[in-house]
Chain A
């Protein structure tokens, strides 16, 4: 089922949380709403779910206006950040809940419920804890049950609100992969909210970057990373160095702001057009990569460079580099925005 969002506006008191948001989500896609706190992503998700009412605008499911449809009739599944499992019911009853509360006419009988619940528990690989209670489960297990519960009613849309936010880093990584695989198998239109750009890039078919209630960019992960539409998107997805003015000229001149990602800077032996002179301050090797901190000679600004550790080791040998060495840095790729588009306050 496709989702169309048209002109959604929402404010809480004096704060505008959603500012004229338009969005299209084709059927079967897995979309991430990515942004910092306060960007409006969770509110938008809840409006799609029917948990919040927009001040104006519409939500269409498969072309039908669903904006004023009752929450319990929308055929959406919702997974909460803190699971919201029913603590007084067993896992089995939690998953069966959506089936049990169906009106008598459409309610499946006990055998059908049992079959469906067992099927779902097998799908999330937790069929062995059907008789336990939520408080006996770990965070990761609870979230998988929450997902099974949402899927039990065969929703046409699956909405997830920071589903892995409350979990440990390792569990988060596992569940991310697992969610991707699940989506590939079931092909339900899914939208999930996250503030973690790594998560968005790893899991989603498309990323919708939001900031201050507005959509900054909407596209596949590669496109959003490599061809950011605004400085905010560039800076939010991955690390970036910011240069004011044109490279090679003193800072503050010229109306442009340039951005270079740390792994897109080369260290060269001699000056070339477009390069800058900098002094090595620190070299930190973390895992597979080395992060180098340089200080520009002209305006003393810091520049970060990143490269695989083996590359750094080879380079260090070849050029005899150590703390305090002067080098030339050459950006392989520059993204430039005019100073008007660049709002430092919007950066985090």
Chain B
């Protein structure tokens, strides 16, 4: 190819130094999508298909029959109590950990991560050990006619244990990355503690906070193992939605079980959609910043 003609037409496209040949790319994408389809997507779709298998009437009947309704109510109450409490905890823990340097911080972080490494069944068990009839406080509770295990309080406590890390874990890395400068500047300008928190910190973490709460709620409503241990499975009284699903399934009422399950699956989808939306907001801001630096000169 002579120099003259070469300079007149665009050079043959060569692969950039840091990318794979096209066939490798397509293969990898194919493998990834196939794996995700089999393990994630198909099960998700199966829930809805099985729920509607016997028709819409059966579906609606399943979710409106009394035991199901009381299960839904109980789930909502348990979540309604646990999530706000965990929100307050998450914010307090994140404030202490992210904005201050103190001894034992690592221990605290490990403790906060503990529910993730403990089996939910064990979590339920330990609360039985503490509050159950043979437990530490068992006698005292019976004497005062208070029921924790096999009643709502037990369910709430177990749920709180399982889900309290979520808000904290969303906030801590973000607040650590954001640093203290803005808050210190506010302090120097004379702002008080709550003012600093409300006006400076909170607006900076609002999306992460929202996502943490949503995730916490989804897990709270869907918790199965721990609640299974502490609830006693009393139909109409101490059955949350996941437990109700188990009962229906064990009684071979598959369509009904999937019907109730589909409500929780729908909640999961809403959770994911919200996460996607939250990340898109954060991403577009990051992209604008990055594109300014991206053009090499």
Contacts and interface: CB of A to CB of B under 8 A. Distances in A.
A–B touching in complex (CB under 8 Å): yes
Interface of A: 6-7, 12-13, 15, 17, 37-43, 46, 50-58, 60, 65, 67-72
B3 interface: yes
B295 A68 contact: no
What is the predominant secondary structure among interface residues of chain B facing chain A? loop
Contacts of B9: 56
Nearest to A63: B3
A200 to B, nearest CB: 16
Contacts of A7: 7
Interface residues of B, number: 18
Contact of A68 (B3, B7, B14): B14
Nearest to B13: A53
A53 B3 contact: no
B10 interface: yes
Contacts of A70: 14-15
Contact of B3 (A43, A52, A60, A69): A60
Given A6-B3, A50-B17, A68 B297 contact: no
B14 A57 contact: no
A42 B13 CA distance: 21
18 contacts: A7-B7, A12-B294, A15-B295, A50-B14, A51-B17, A56-B8, A56-B11, A57-B11, A58-B6, A58-B7, A58-B11, A60-B3, A67-B6, A68-B11, A68-B12, A68-B14, A70-B15, A72-B17
B61 to A, nearest CB: 58
B12 A6 contact: no
Contacts of A65: 1, 3, 6
Contacts of B193: none
A65 B5 CA distance: 12
Given A6-B7, A57-B7, A43 B296 contact: yes
Contacts of A42: 296-297
Most chain A beta-carbon neighbours within 10 Å: one of B3, B7, B16: B7
Nearest to B14: A68
A65 B15 CA distance: 17
A164 to B, nearest CB: 17
B297 A39 contact: yes
A12 B297 CA distance: 10
Contacts of A60: 3
A159 to B, nearest CB: 13
Interface in B102-125: none
Interface of B: 1, 3, 6-17, 294-297
A70 B15 CA distance: 8
Contacts of B296: 17, 42-43, 46, 52
Contacts of B294: 12
Nearest to A193: B297
Contact of A58 (B3, B14, B16, B297): B3
Contacts of B295: 12-13, 15, 17, 38
A324 B10 CA distance: 63
Contacts of B16: 51, 53
B7 A56 contact: yes
Given A38-B295, A53-B16, A57-B7, 4 more contacts: A15-B295, A17-B297, A53-B11, A67-B11
Nearest to B10: A56
A67 B297 CA distance: 19
Nearest to A55: B10
Nearest to A36: B297
A15 B294 CA distance: 12
B11 A40 contact: no
A16 to B, nearest CB: 11
Given A53-B14, A68-B12, A68-B14, A40 B297 contact: yes
Contacts of B7: 6-7, 56-58
A15 B296 CA distance: 11
A76 to B, nearest CB: 11
A57 B5 CA distance: 10
Nearest 6 A/B pairs, CB to CB: A71-B17, A67-B11, A68-B12, A38-B297, A68-B11, A42-B296
A345 B219 CA distance: 59
Most chain A beta-carbon neighbours within 10 Å: one of B3, B8, B9, B17: B17
B287 to A, nearest CB: 13
A7 B3 CA distance: 11
A43 B1 CA distance: 25
Nearest to A12: B295
A38 B16 CA distance: 22
A106 B295 CA distance: 37
